[in-house]
Amino acid sequence: MKVEARLFDVTTAFFFLSAVIYGFWAKEPVGIVALILTGGLSLIIGSYFHFVARRMERRPEDNPDAEISDGAGEVGFFSAGSYWPVAIAASGGIAAVAIAFWQVWLLVIGLVLVLSAVGGLVFEYHTRPNATD
């Protein structure tokens, strides 16, 4: 996680430095505020990665002397045939169109569909703890 934290440290510094330079150069308040807020969001993510990196054991990505084979092994479980991401995208599109045209009834339907699709994705492989067949 230290690599990711360093990446966000660099982007945070870039955005804050850009805000200062933009402030002297353009003197336009909206762009300055946007760059400061972007730097703040980057700072939040970088701080989270620093926080998590202190509590994790060292990964091969954090070791400059690591070999490629050090990162071998099981990465995790990824569903190859899940249709739930498509459902999330479609229902998110419905919600976005509802916001664009400010159709509250369609927004309610879109949000219900988004929540249902996210629930389907999260619980796709969930089984009951004491399932008896």
Each of the 133 residues of the chain gets a pLDDT tens digit; together they read 788 999 999 999 999 999 999 999 998 999 999 999 999 999 999 999 999 988 888 888 778 888 888 888 887 777 778 899 999 999 999 999 999 999 999 999 999 999 999 999 988 887 777 766 5
**How far lies 14's CA from each of 21, 25, 34, 97, 119, in Å?**
10, 16, 13, 34, 38
For residues 12 and 48, membership in a common domain is answered with yes
User: Under 8 Å CB-to-CB from 82, ≥6 apart: which residues?
Assistant: 121, 124
For residues 52 and 88, membership in a common domain is answered with no
**How far lies 106's CA from each of 84, 98, 117, in Å?**
20, 5, 16
**Rounded distance, CA 22 to CA 125, Å?**
49
**Rounded distance, CA 131 to CA 125, Å?**
13
Question: What's the pLDDT at 131?
Answer: 60
For residues 7 and 61, membership in a common domain is answered with yes
Q: Could you tell me if 41 and 15 are in contact, meaning their C-beta atoms sit under 8 angstroms apart?
A: no
Question: What's the pLDDT at 93?
Answer: 97
Question: What's the pLDDT at 27?
Answer: 83
Q: Which domain holds residue 116?
A: 84-122
Question: What's the pLDDT at 69?
Answer: 85
